[in-house]
Amino acid sequence: MRGFLKKLSLAQNDDTKSSTHPLHACGAVEASCSKTAPLNESPLPEFIIAMDFGTTFSGFAYTRTGDATPEIRDNCRWPFANNAGAAAYCKNQTSLYYVPKVTQDGQFHLELKEWGWGAFVAYHNAFTDFQPSTNLPHTSTSFTNTLDYSERLLRKVGFFAYKFKLYLSPTEADWLSLPPLPWNLKPQILIVDYLRKLTELIMDTMKAGIRGDFSLRDVQWCLTVPAIWEEEAKQLMRTYAEMAGMITGNLCPNNCKASPYPLKIILEPEAASVYCQNEAGQNLKTAPGDRILVADLGGGTLDIVVHQILEVNDKGIAKVKEAIPSYGEIGGGTFVDDRFFDHLKRRIPCFEEYRSKVPSIGLDFYNWWKKVMPDFDGDGYEATFNLVGNELAKDWKEYDMHRGSVRHSNEYSRLHFSAVDFRAIFEPDVEKVISLIEKGIKDVKILMVVGGFSASPYLRKRIRQTFGGRVAEIITPMDPGRAICRGAVELHRRSGYIQARVSRRTYGICCTRDYKVGDPHELLERDDDQKLKCRRVFTVFVRKGTEVVVGKKEKRSYFPVYHGQRAIQFDLYSSPRENPCYTTEEDAKKEGSFVIDISKGKSKDKKREIEVTMLFGDSIINVTAARKNFGSRKDEECYETAAALPSGLRLSAVLN
């Protein structure tokens, strides 16, 4: 089959080119496709619900579509939040607790026990009660890296999953630093489990507050994602939402009860921008041409978008476009947490050894840290962890005595953190934020700073010190945690707010064309008419750095190369280069594949035409392919790449 599919090629008819050498698309591997669910015939859902799935915290907001002046609301009541000692907040902890189970063949596997704050409380209790008779195997993971999960600890206590959103980060290098997942767990399982539990809570909340028969069929879902994510990660979130039962589709476990409305993917900093503008109201003095930089500083991602205002009305900013491509890095609050534990291990050299005997000490320090870190605002701040009566103090002193370096007794009973210590913990990620903002601050009038990490008084102070005299306004909402959820609801309602975006990559299709001088020898082959061709050519639909109006379509027509060809495969690629030549280039990335059946038009042979369309400008890129001059026009089907494929684009084929 692989050898056959290498021959599934097309010729391209591109009216924008005057070349006498036709282009031909070619596929490399077989793609499996499945039908998408039909769209709901109802013109409007009753409610819009936006879900913000975050690295450290997640929440939701909603509004009724039929209200003349819709009110956007969110939720601040979460199961077990009081037990965890958490303050009232519009988000729940993004965490899961799995307990060990034994299968019939005697193998261990992990099953979901609790989620959110419930996971934190349940694991804390199990972790605290666990007192092994012998030391656990030494590991170097911290609590914020899903704790210490030696084999024995897994079998006795279970597994606490935390910051698993980072497995969808832009590059493999970003998540290679995360600990390996144990046993049967995979990133997909964690994310789907969390989305499913959050969806269940949302529906229970809506039934209690709206009406008892409220269902998913009444919901338009909006799911927020970082702007720096690649297309593959965005598409995976769509797939995971389907697997979690949020939206209809072949992967939905209860398809008939899920939402029939297509999932709306919303970029987090764009949602934050709308929220900040609503909060500022008439106090925000803007005009067409002004630039706004939005810094969404979360627990795991730092996202930057720069918008240029196109239109202002009596209600404020009406239309914007991206001024430069969105950008960012991995970083934020969870990385500050990690640095605290790194600092702790340097201060107490035997900390890991002690934790192997008393695993709960990691939780004790984590709880203390999360209470003191929000108050750090710079110089003069200090805090102390009391070790009086704690066996750690005894072990620490003995550790030093064996090495001939004993400290003053007060140092073993009171672990003191000075302002210098706090700055050393915070500064690397604060500097990263400053550097990212600096990159896009030119000609910016308004700087908006949101996201969980932006609540840090120290970070806010450093941003104002650095940029206060360079922009007219710096807007930092009183409650930045609400910005993404509420902003996403509002952004969905204001469908024309984003007018254009700037492509961060070049997108196109892998093709075969007539030979040109300079083509690599290894890519040359002859077709069945003995014409010399070049395979694996990157045919561009949109180039990196191009401003793309929302809804803009780019079309190309393709024709079969081989006589008697029964199917055509399309391989879609992206590249960080403006002018990629071949899909074999090292940095070219395959985004997805799909196959079109062309067996119905064999009488037209090589004149069978397939028109491929890429729809740009939205938060994701949509790709469609349509039979133009053959096949029954009564036949109309849609296809979307199967979940197993590494697809980053939403792919479909409309057969007409």
Closest CA to 615 of 503, 495, 493: 503
Block residue for tokens 């985004």: 591
| pLDDT at residue number 647 | 29
Spatial separation of the C-alpha atoms in residues 580 and 508, rounded to whole Å = 10
Spatial separation of the C-alpha atoms in residues 627 and 613, rounded to whole Å = 12
634 and 559, same structural domain? Answer: yes
Residue 545, domain CATH: 2.60.34.10
Structure-token pair, residue 432: 């990263």
| pLDDT at residue number 569 | 86
| pLDDT at residue number 176 | 54
Handedness of CA 652, 328, 464, 57 (dihedral sign): positive
646 and 531, same structural domain? Answer: yes
622 and 540, same structural domain? Answer: yes
| pLDDT at residue number 15 | 36
Spatial separation of the C-alpha atoms in residues 569 and 553, rounded to whole Å = 21
Mean pLDDT of the chain: 82
554 and 645, same structural domain? Answer: yes
563 and 510, same structural domain? Answer: yes
Spatial separation of the C-alpha atoms in residues 337 and 142, rounded to whole Å = 9
527 and 491, same structural domain? Answer: no
518 and 437, same structural domain? Answer: no
Region for residue 634 given its phi and psi (left: phi exceeds 0; alpha: psi -120 to 50; beta: otherwise):
alpha
Which of 474, 501, 528 represents a domain boundary (last residue)?
501
Closest CA to 232 of 509, 592, 622: 592
| pLDDT at residue number 610 | 87
| pLDDT at residue number 150 | 65
Spatial separation of the C-alpha atoms in residues 198 and 115, rounded to whole Å = 9
> Does some domain include residue 600?
yes
297 and 441, same structural domain? Answer: yes
Give the domain extent around 584.
Answer: 2-36+503-654
| pLDDT at residue number 39 | 39
614 and 511, same structural domain? Answer: yes
Which of 449, 479, 501 represents a domain boundary (last residue)?
501
| pLDDT at residue number 202 | 97
321 and 308, same structural domain? Answer: yes
pTM of the predicted structure, to 2 decimals: 0.82
> Does some domain include residue 105?
no
Where helices occur in 1-149 by DSSP H, the ranges are 2-5, 116-129
Residues 6+ apart with CB under 8 A from 574: 231, 505, 506, 507, 508, 588, 589, 591, 648
Residue 298, domain CATH: 3.30.420.40
| pLDDT at residue number 131 | 56
562 and 436, same structural domain? Answer: no
State the total domains in the chain. Answer: 2
Residues of the chain with pLDDT under 70: 1-43, 128-150, 170-177, 179, 282, 632-656
| pLDDT at residue number 177 | 62
